[in-house]
Amino acid sequence: MKKDEWHIVRFASRGNNSFIEAAMAAVQDYFTENKISIYANREMWIKTIVMLSLYFVPYTLMVVGAGAGNIWLYLGLWLLTGLGMTGIGATIMHDANHGAFSPKKSVNNFIGHILEVIGGYAATWKIQHNVLHHTYTNVTGLDEDIDSIKFLRFSPNQPRHWYHRYQFIYAWFFYMLMTLFWMTAKDYLQVLRYKNHGLLIKQKVSLKQAMFRISVFKVFYYGYILVLPLLFSGVPWYWVLTGFFLMHFTAGLLLACIFQPAHVMTSSEFATPVVVDDVKRMENSWAIHEVVNTTNYAPRSRILSWCIGGLNYQIEHHLFSGICHVHYRKLAPIIKAKAAAFNLPYQVQPTFIHALWEHGRMLKQLGVAGGRKH
């Protein structure tokens, strides 16, 4: 992404009586008629307690010595912490940093900073996810969710190398490293890049402030997640490190498997902007662009949806990210009907396994000459 490139890409006008206007009106009617808030309800608060407990309870047990006499129990506690980390990232932090947890900005900011507690940095996450990914989904050079390391090709508009032929096999290993890279180097690299692109100022933070805060948060994170277990768990250091890596491998793989099947799919459009009068323009309006580049999955699995923060309803999330995810299941039929009325696709994979399989197929197609099959 070149400096300020994100400023000069424009989506087509949505026009009058557009799909998004109809969808917004229908969604508003749903909340008005049912007299409910778009923000967190009791279910969300219960989930918040559960996910925080799933992370902090096994961690606390490890520190006080639980599992010191049984290495499998000890590693199992680290595994649970990885599941809790996934739950916090996909449910609590995600909604709060979208401003969807509470109508009060201060509450969203406070809860959103749980990201720093699990090793990240909210300001860079908001730029990558809220600003770039949610605006320019699947647009090469702008959506950093698909602009990954050179060993992974997530778009037919990216260069292809010989080793991409095997990415459908090895990509899962790199997915496992996702949070580990994030909690070590990624935030530093991003903050430097965002400063150069004029994006950091949008979060009302300077480069100096961001670098200082990231460093403080990383020291805090590694201090409690590694140093305390090393000092007090009564477990040899190599098992502590093994558990730490197990936690991150679990969270990285699960988070990638939650997000990747939503966009890197055979049904995704991967449109590119066209230069018109020195301005890069997209063919579709923003809302239509989101619909044709997003896929839902496992709509009948309430358990999965509860565990992953409703992110199996990615179409609803991308169109209405300011609404708490606990409402997505009820909104899905509304959005699907509006999409059909405007002759728009509404991509859904019936199960989570189907979604992962199709994502794997897309990785394989992107690894061969031509990039993908139509």
Residue 2 pLDDT: 53
The ranges assigned to domains in the chain are 5-366
Coil/strand/helix, residue 119: coil
The confidence score (pLDDT) of residue 9 equals: 87
* Amino acid (one-letter) located at 319: L
**271 close to 139: Cβ distance less than 8 angstroms:** yes
Q: What is the pLDDT at residue 350?
A: 98
pLDDT digits (tens, 9 = 90+) for 148-200: 999 999 999 999 999 999 999 999 999 999 999 999 999 999 999 999 888 88
pLDDT of residue 374: 37
Q: Helix, strand, coil proportions of the chain in percent (round to 5)?
A: 65, 5, 35
d(Cα 33, Cα 172) in Å, to the nearest integer? 44
**Beta carbons of 143 and 132 less than 8 angstroms apart:** yes
d(CA 374, CA 365): 10
In the prediction, which pLDDT does 6 show? Answer: 52
Find all residues with CB under 8 Å of 120, minimum gap 6, and list them. Answer: 93, 182, 183, 187, 217
pTM: 0.93
- Give, for all 374 residues of the chain, the pLDDT tens digit: 555 555 578 898 887 779 999 999 999 999 999 999 999 999 999 999 999 999 999 999 999 988 888 999 999 999 999 999 999 999 999 999 999 999 999 999 999 999 999 999 999 999 999 999 999 999 999 999 999 999 999 999 999 999 999 999 999 999 999 999 999 999 999 999 999 888 888 888 999 999 999 999 999 999 999 999 999 999 999 999 999 999 999 999 999 999 999 999 999 999 999 888 778 899 999 999 999 999 999 999 999 999 999 999 999 999 999 999 999 999 999 999 999 999 999 999 999 999 999 999 999 999 996 555 43
Q: Is 309 left (phi over 0), alpha (psi -120 to 50) or beta?
A: left
Rg of the chain taking only CA atoms, in angstroms: 21
Q: Could you give the CA distance from residue 36 to residue 85 in angstroms, rounded to a whole number?
A: 29
Amino acid 370: pLDDT: 59
CA separation (Å) from 289 to 11, 132, 258? 9, 14, 21
CA distances from 251 to 90, 143, 324 (A): 10, 22, 22
For residue 210, the model assigns a pLDDT of: 95
- CB of 83 closer than 8 Å to CB of 250: yes
pLDDT at 373 (0 to 100): 42
29, amino acid identity:
D
